[in-house]
Amino acid sequence: MCGIVGCVTSERNAPYLLVDGLRRLEYRGYDSAGLAVIKDGEIVTLREVGKLNNLESALKASGLGGTIGLGHTRWATHGRPTQVNAHPHRDGSGKIVVVHNGIIENFRELRAELRDQGHVFASETDSEVIAHLIESCYRGDLAQAVLEATRRLEGAYAIGVMHADHPEMLVGARKDGPLVIGLGENENFLASDVTAALEHTSRFVYLDDGQVAELTRDGLRILDASGHEQPYVQTNIAWSLAQAERGGYPHFMLKEIHEQPTVISDTLLGRLDETRGEIVLDDLGIDDEAARAISRIHIIACGTSWHAGHVAKFYIEQLARIPVEVDYASEYRYRDPILDPDGLVVAISQSGETADTIAAMRMARQAGVRVVGVCNVIGSTISREADGSIMTHAGPEIGVASTKAFISQLVALLLLALRLGRARGHLSVDELRRHCLELRQLPQVVENVLKTEGRVLEVARRFAGAQDFLFIGRGMNYPIALEGALKLKEISYIHAEGYPSGEMKHGPIALIDERMPVVAICTRSPVYEKVITSVEEARVRDAKMIVIGNEGDEKITEIADETIFVPHVAEILSPIVNVVPLQLLAYFVARERGCDVDQPRNLAKSVTVE
Ligand code: AGP
């Protein structure tokens, strides 16, 4: 999730406005930053790895000024976080610069095509291709060139573009990536979100998918996809800066829960190829032959990532028929595991910096076992050291309690299972296509699940005073019960236990009385009736039953004190759907109790010590 800022102003302080704007986007996380201005008819760029302070120091040292510019903070997806890969990117003539947020799915094809035409590329990024594409479409009208170029782009983008021959003009365009225009007094802005320009204006225009904006310091033209000028609507934003950083949500955690439909789309982007019946995982480093040779898989992770690993065990064993063991990384590294050179270790880590997971991964690699990292942070230790990787594209997660990163891990691990299943002949092309179709519908399904928010809030208000909670689920939803319990204890400090429902009568049932709320995941699956039986067992012992069921399931209404209904989906997608109301439940309970939701006591976002 990169950050974009552009400004065209009457003062010569544009680069400083850009750095200020980028600082407002720091909450999104980044690994490098850069800016470009037009000086004496030429583009000048500054790009630095690491903190924004590095860019600011470089700017001060350069004495650079200017009335127009583009700035960018990069969250690497394609290509490591290096100076060369940092934005802005130039075209071949050096006259055009582009900043980009998103992922260009067909960048390889475009790069090959442009190379054949003589274009030379400097970076490993997908973004650089946009600058060269605009160059090849440019015939004197920048907005028109951007329009033409964007017609060739597949994937998601929000871009800002500047041309040395148009020293008073910025052009912006978007598709499935956020971009707003800020209208100031004798100055205008382009930004990933309103925070970047809120200090200078409260008047914003939200760009729609497919539109192109042409900004000067006192004018704005919006063109539709066919190049026709369109009227636009100004929105007055009365947020404080702190509110704006959270997109108007009271907490990052709630914002991140609501980002999950987009995160699913981003994690799927460019990876489903129905035409060829393939799952495309470019950096996996395992071809079909190697996939067929895998004797077994060891998943190592901690916390929420470990729960994702448990769901993955179901995915991989069902779809690829490879035996899977799941370990806490902290246990694996000390228990002298049997390391099979024909096996595969999958290290799951949002941050890619968890000390135990890194140590376990290194141990496996030293023993000659291939390791695949499933990470959210490109350039992190695990993503760098693993033999192959699957990046999860959840964007920076600020809330300490992991939500959107977990969902993106589940999607990435399902893609891995489908990829292995196809390579090993357990899935036909038609079966794979059916899974792809269902996955493509998933963002909309999760969008619908988020509509349960009001209902979940009612339930949370009723039970916010409870001292203990029990979460039960079965099959691939039993790890989701564990995750529901972990979320609740992390942020509300209520004691919560997660169990496979079949285990309830082997112990935890002793805890049940009328003060114990029990959350049961009871959506349709081959073990549905088994979970219903556990619900009955808890109910007759006076537990207060909160049941997550499928819309239209009358039986659930009869046996539950409180119901939360979610859409029915294929069983393999049910963990991704069912975890959402549990995240919301934890969030609302914690909020009702006045807890510090985003920074719960004693917890760190990334546990870099043993
Ligand atoms: C999740 O809500 C937690 N904060 C925690 O369990 C986390 O998942 C764990 O520390 C692992 O982190 P990682 O995914 O960055 O390795």
Q: 3-state SS string over 124-142? A: CCCCHHHHHHHHHHCCCCH
Alpha-carbon distance of 536 to 520, in angstroms, equals 11
Is position 608 within any domain?
Answer: no
- pLDDT at site 263: 94
Nearest CA to ligand 1 atom 7: 303
Q: What is the CATH number of the domain that holds 456?
A: 3.40.50.10490
- pLDDT band (50, 70, 90) for residue 75: confident
- Cβ–Cβ under 8 Å, residues 476 and 575: yes
Q: 409 and 319, same structural domain?
A: yes
pLDDT in tens, 85-125: 999 999 999 999 999 998 898 999 999 999 999 999 999 99
Q: Which of 51, 530, 555, 605 is catalytic?
A: 605
Token readout for 556 is 């659930």
| Residue 610: pLDDT over 70 | no
Alpha-carbon distance of 111 to 564, in angstroms, equals 48
Choose which residue among 252, 299, 302 to substitute to test ligand 1 binding: the one with the highest number of ligand atoms within 8 A of its C-beta: 302
Three-class DSSP category at 363: helix
Q: What is the mean pLDDT of residues 469-490?
A: 98
| Residue 396: pLDDT over 80 | no
Q: 368 and 465, same structural domain?
A: no
pLDDT in tens, 315-353: 999 999 999 999 999 999 999 999 999 999 999 999 898
- pLDDT at site 28: 67
pLDDT in tens, 246-292: 888 999 999 999 999 999 999 999 999 999 999 999 899 999 999 99
Average pLDDT of the chain, as a whole number? 94
- pLDDT at site 29: 67
Contacts of range 139-147, beta carbons closer than 8 Å, 24 or more positions apart: 142/166, 142/169, 142/171, 142/214, 143/171, 143/212, 143/214, 143/221, 143/223, 144/227, 146/171, 146/173, 146/212, 147/173, 147/212, 147/223, 147/225, 147/227
Ligand 1 centre distance from Cα of residue 385 (Å): 19
- pLDDT at site 47: 96
Q: Which of 2, 7, 436, 522 is catalytic?
A: 2
Which one is predicted more confidently, 1 or 378? 378
Ligand 1 centre distance from Cα of residue 229 (Å): 48
- Cβ–Cβ under 8 Å, residues 587 and 250: no
Alpha-carbon distance of 444 to 96, in angstroms, equals 37
Nearest CA to ligand 1 atom 10: 303
DSSP state of 13: B
Q: What is the CATH number of the domain that holds 165?
A: 3.60.20.10
Is position 602 within any domain?
Answer: no
Query: Catalytic residue at 605?
Result: yes
The domain boundary residue, chosen from 237, 264, 291: 237
What number of other Cβ atoms are within 10 A of residue 322's Cβ?
20
What number of other Cβ atoms are within 10 A of residue 428's Cβ?
12
Q: What angle do CA 588, 565, 517 make, to 5 degrees?
A: 50
Q: 401 and 536, same structural domain?
A: no
Three-class DSSP category at 79: coil
Ligand 1 centre distance from Cα of residue 428 (Å): 35
> Which atom of ligand 1 approaches the CA of 401 most closely?
2
> Which atom of ligand 1 approaches the CA of 490 most closely?
2
- pLDDT band (50, 70, 90) for residue 41: very high
- Residue positions counted in the chain: 610
pLDDT above 90: percentage of residues in the chain: 84
Q: Left, alpha or beta for 225 (phi > 0: left; psi -120 to 50: alpha)?
A: alpha
Q: What is the mean pLDDT of residues 603-609?
A: 74
Angle between the 303-320 and 478-492 helix axes, to the nearest 10 degrees? 170
- pLDDT at site 449: 98
pLDDT in tens, 198-257: 889 999 998 988 999 999 999 999 999 999 999 998 888 777 777 667 888 999 999 999
Q: 254 and 223, same structural domain?
A: no
Is position 206 within any domain?
Answer: yes
Is position 437 within any domain?
Answer: no
The domain boundary residue, chosen from 216, 237, 258: 237
What is the DSSP annotation of 204-235? EEEPPTT-EEEEETTEEEEE-TTS-EE----E
Q: 17 and 137, same structural domain?
A: yes
Alpha-carbon distance of 540 to 168, in angstroms, equals 74
Q: 24 and 165, same structural domain?
A: yes
Q: 515 and 398, same structural domain?
A: no
Token readout for 59 is 């700017």
Ligand 1 centre distance from Cα of residue 403 (Å): 10
Is position 444 within any domain?
Answer: no
Q: 174 and 49, same structural domain?
A: yes
pLDDT in tens, 400-425: 999 999 999 999 999 999 999 999 99
Q: 207 and 82, same structural domain?
A: yes
Alpha-carbon distance of 21 to 23, in angstroms, equals 5
Choose which residue among 333, 382, 487, 607 to substitute to test ligand 1 binding: the one with the highest number of ligand atoms within 8 A of its C-beta: 607
- pLDDT at site 241: 74
- pLDDT at site 468: 97
Choose which residue among 256, 257, 300, 304 to substitute to test ligand 1 binding: the one with the highest number of ligand atoms within 8 A of its C-beta: 304
- pLDDT at site 297: 98
The domain boundary residue, chosen from 198, 216, 237: 237
Q: 323 and 303, same structural domain?
A: yes
Is position 433 within any domain?
Answer: no
Is position 201 within any domain?
Answer: yes
Looking at the structure of the chain, the number of domains it has is 3
Cis peptide before 88 (omega within 30 of 0): yes
Is position 436 within any domain?
Answer: no
Nearest CA to ligand 1 atom 8: 304
Query: Catalytic residue at 2?
Result: yes
Alpha-carbon distance of 282 to 9, in angstroms, equals 42
> What residues flank ligand 1, with Cβ below 6 Å?
302-305, 349-351, 354, 357, 400-402, 490, 603, 606-607
What number of other Cβ atoms are within 10 A of residue 423's Cβ?
20
- The boundaries of the domain holding residue 566 are 451-592
Q: 145 and 67, same structural domain?
A: yes
Q: 250 and 179, same structural domain?
A: no
pLDDT in tens, 539-559: 999 999 999 999 999 999 999
